[in-house]
Amino acid sequence: MVAGPLRTRLEAPTRPHPRRRATPPSDPSHLLEHARKVATRQNNPDDDMSAANFFIPSLPGQPDDVQVTMYGGHIPSAPPKLGVKDTHSDAHLFFFMVRNKHIADTERTLLWFNGGPGCSSFDGGLMEVGPFRLVPNGDGKLVEAEGAWNEYANVIFIDQPVGTGYAYMATGSYVHELKEVGAHMIEFLANFYKVFPEFVNHDTYLAGESYAGQYIPYIADAILSSKRVPTNLKGLLIGNGWIDPANQYPAYLDFALQSGIVKKGSAAETAVRKAVDECEQHLKRQKVERIHEGVCERILGAITDSTIQNVNGQSMCVNNYDVRLTDTHPACGMNWPPDLVDMHPYLSRQDVKSAFHATRKSGPWLECDGQVGAQFYTPRSRPAVRLLPGLLEQVPVLMFAGAEDLICNHVGIERMIDNLEWNGETGFGNATQEEWHVDGRQAGTWTTARNLTYVKINDASHMVPYDQPVAAHDMLLRFVGVSLLSAAGPAAQVPSRIGNEIPAVLGSTHPNGTALSDGETYASGSELDALPAAGAEDGSSSSSGGGKSTGGLLSGSSDAALEGLVNASSALVLVALMGAAFALFLCVRRRVRNGAGGSRLARVAGGDGWAAIGSSALGMGGGGGGARAGKHERVGSRASARGERGGVRDGVGVGEGGDEDPHELDELMSRRGGGAPGYRDETTEEEGDVDGRRTGSRGALGRRDEEEKVFGLGDDDDDDDVDLDEPRLGGAGAPRRHH
């Protein structure tokens, strides 16, 4: 069956024989075939690829109040054969791109791949790191996702190899080797950059999970070796990856015993251990390493078979992707996650395919295409672990693992790292494994050395972002080095720390944007007190584990120090400005008082003027004008006040009849005049009595007019509010920056 319409190009006309007379063809079908080829070439959408044609205004079921910039469609990926353009395989990969919401410091683009082989990257796009999720039983309604990775990066979800998801090719043009995957991606990127040339300069990352542990190293190697695509490759992220079969196959039993799936000393352990022994003997006899070993696949089968139980007449077994769950036998996890129930009909709808510009792929959408997987048997491909040492010399690599996954479990990944030699040493050596906290709880552990970072995520399955979206996003931001000192968005409001770092948070909202309740805080004082001083212990930060730092959020010796300098500098500048303003105020008052002929300060009961409202709002009144107070906001609450018209306005007095608490300036003024807060100027008691009976009068020229000229008292519109939204330095509501 042809997965997509076969398009062939018009061949060059043959030159007639010089000694023969050219005669028109007698068969009219030749002309019809010629016309069909010309029409096909003219209607080939590949000849008119543009960003405008790939633009997706919105998706069916998308919330009206959510705006996401999206692109999608098919891009040719058939690599040249022996230097000649391939016009027969009709290979096209499908991409779905979501643009970033914020640019923290530089443009970043991340290419996401799911595994299988043959599984669509819509697993990542609609269940893990994409901007939307499908509402369960919601008839195709979408909701905005928490922890989406496009907050600070452009994310491109790619269906590959050809035939996967919305990707298509001509009949029989399947991919069989990992080097072919790399070649197809080079062709795809070359054509992609023609449509989106600005992406050439972006910091680019490759990310994915499961069998993408094979895809990503091969694609990275192809990019770094290619002269056709000037991709600015900055790093690789592999989650629960299938990378090193020789170390990962035997680890099945160890993980099963640790997690309690198989009981130590049980008959199940004996059966599984026998399968492990057979696998290891087979691997020793093998002269060539392979990615799939049928003998070794029996280990996983023995484990799942040992968990079969009859529940209400239904055979159930452990979920291979999340050992906390069960599934029907023999699926054992293939029916998970439950989101697939809604994804299959949604992505198969004609209006949805039209919105994604994916109508050139015939038939319904399949999460994992069995034929693509069967054809991808990789007879000559070596396991991707052999490429890692060379890649680690050029780019940083992050490996992360959900602690509850069986099929690509963390024990096997850790064993692979222990036996891997890169950048002059084997394993992590003396690098410290440190606790990683996100949003007030331990998210997992973090280890870094010589360009390799390993993160184990607690309470997470084979699909880490599906279970722990906020922690997974924090992990991404740390690895790619996003500096949140100048960033916006919910990620800047989630506290995070590794080891002895000081947790910090910017703003006072939850990751979903809702306000914190009264008294709620992300980092408690007791938690901060419990932390040892940064750098007090040996190897104090995992970000400095002997290699290039991968922390861009909070680093005990870099970003935290920078933040401290910024805050301290800001505080000093603000204090200096306040001091200068106050000194100017006292100087002007001294001049005015001397110019008024020896006036003195005396308290006026019930007078208006400087008013201390709440804790920080100030107001200044003038004759006939209202004494106005500022506003101070904290966690969404707003305190505001203003002085009322009337009363004695000659000079500076206590607002609202002096009922409010005295302000610091009142105390300073009282030291000068010997009285309590609230004063007016009078040359004699009689004149003061007269002044005290005046209401709303501006008075004659003198000290008060001079004050009005300097400070503009009494001339402002009383209906205007003074906005003092900035919280006080050091106050309870002062924001803390999250790195």
Question: Among all residues, which ones are annotated catalytic?
Answer: 210, 405, 462
Q: Are 158 and 207 in contact (CB under 8 A)?
A: no
The pair of three-digit structure tokens given for residue 379, joined into one six-digit string: 């007879």
CA distances in angstroms from 225 to 191, 237, 394, listed in the order given = 18, 19, 12
610 close to 629: Cβ distance less than 8 angstroms: no
Q: Give the 3-state DSSP-derived string for 181-202, with helices as H, strands as E and coil as C.
A: HHHHHHHHHHHHHHHCHHHHHC
Query: Cβ(671)–Cβ(626) under 8 Å?
Result: no
Report the C-alpha gap between 614 and 604 in whole angstroms: 22
Evaluate whether 221 touches 388 at the Cβ level (below 8 Å): no
Q: How far apart are CA 462 and CA 228, in angstroms?
A: 35
Pick from 99, 157, 148: nearest CA to 128: 148
Residue 516 near residue 509, CB atoms below 8 Å: yes
SS (H, E, C) 498-519: ECCCCCCCCCCECCCCCECCCC
Nearest partner of 215 among 71, 378, 72, judged by Cα: 378
Q: What's CA 481's distance to the chain center, in Å?
A: 11
Structure tokens that stand for 581 in this block: 């303003």
Residue type, 96: F
- Cα dihedral sign for 25, 29, 33, 38? positive
Q: How far apart are CA 687 and CA 533, in angstroms?
A: 64
Would you mind telling me the total number of residues written for the chain in this entry? 739
Residue 353 in 3-state DSSP? Answer: helix
Cα–Cα dist 546/635, whole Å: 41
- H-helix segments, 596-630: none
Query: Across-strand partners of 455?
Result: 400, 446
| Closest-CA residue to 5 (of 70, 59, 74) | 74
Q: HSE of 726 in the Cβ direction (CA atoms, 13 Å)?
A: 6
Quote the strand ranges of 160-262, DSSP E: 203-209, 232-239
Report d(CA 257, CA 421) in Å as an integer.
28
What is the DSSP annotation of 524-550? -HHHHHHSPPTT-STT--GGGSSS---
Q: What is the DSSP pairing of strand 441-449 with strand 434-438?
A: antiparallel
586 close to 621: Cβ distance less than 8 angstroms: no
Tokens of 622: 């003038």
Contact residues for 572 (Cβ-Cβ < 8 A; gap 6+): none
CA angle 479, 485, 486 (to 5 degrees): 105
Paired tokens of 588: 């002007």
The pair of structure tokens assigned to 631 is 């506003």
The C-alpha atoms of residue 405 and residue 414 are separated, in whole angstroms, by 13
